[in-house]
Amino acid sequence: MKFSTKAEYGLKAMTNLAQCYPVQKTIGEIAKEENVSQKYLERLMGILRNGGVVQSSKGKQGGYVLSKDPKKIPVGEIIELLDGEIAPMRCVGKFCSSEHKCPSSVVWNKLGVQIKKTLYSIKLDSLVK
């Protein structure tokens, strides 16, 4: 199972914001500090804003800030906002039309549950150095 660069860079940006919470930062500052394309980061931050984990303000003094304390933001939520449902295989859960006929689905479903449980147990504040 691989996560996308959206999840990787989005998590970097969220960790960056957690380090200065509750102060806001511009997209340019985050992009420079995390060595990520500003244009790409703008798209990711839009997804995270629509998902309710960051807030943005426009204008000269504008920027991004976490919408809540980093202790209350699970890493799993960030990854699912950016990558979609966490599943080790394409055929897990609602994506599988023959789940009840497939003996190996038990393995993939259990693995998916454990991965999700682990990612949701890690809070954003634990990534701050």
Q: Is residue 55 packed enough to be buried (19+ CB in 10 Å), middle (13-18) or exposed (0-12)?
A: middle
- pLDDT > 90? residue 2: no
Structural domains of the chain in order of their starting residue, each with its CATH number: 5-127 (1.10.10.10)
Structure tokens belonging to residue 25: 């930062």
List pLDDT tens digits, range 41-86.
Answer: 999 999 999 999 999 998 888 899 999 999 999 999 999 999 998 8
How is residue 92 written in tokens?
A: 């897990």
Answer whether 89's CB lies under 8 Å from 104's CB: no
Pairwise CA distance, residues 15 & 54, whole Å: 12
User: Of 24-28, 40-44, 97-101, which gets the smallest average pLDDT?
Assistant: 97-101
Per-residue model confidence (pLDDT) at position 44: 97
Q: Which residues contact 128 (CB under 8 A, 6 or more apart)?
A: 15, 18, 19, 70
Q: How confident is the model at residue 1 (pLDDT cuts 50, 70, 90)?
A: low
In the structure, what pLDDT confidence band is assigned to residue 39 with cuts at 50, 70 and 90?
A: very high
Lookup result for tokens 């449980």: 117
Residue 102, pLDDT > 90, answer: no
Q: Are 10 and 78 in contact (CB under 8 A)?
A: yes
Q: What is the mean pLDDT of residues 10-20?
A: 97
Are 9 and 83 within 8 A, CB to CB?
no
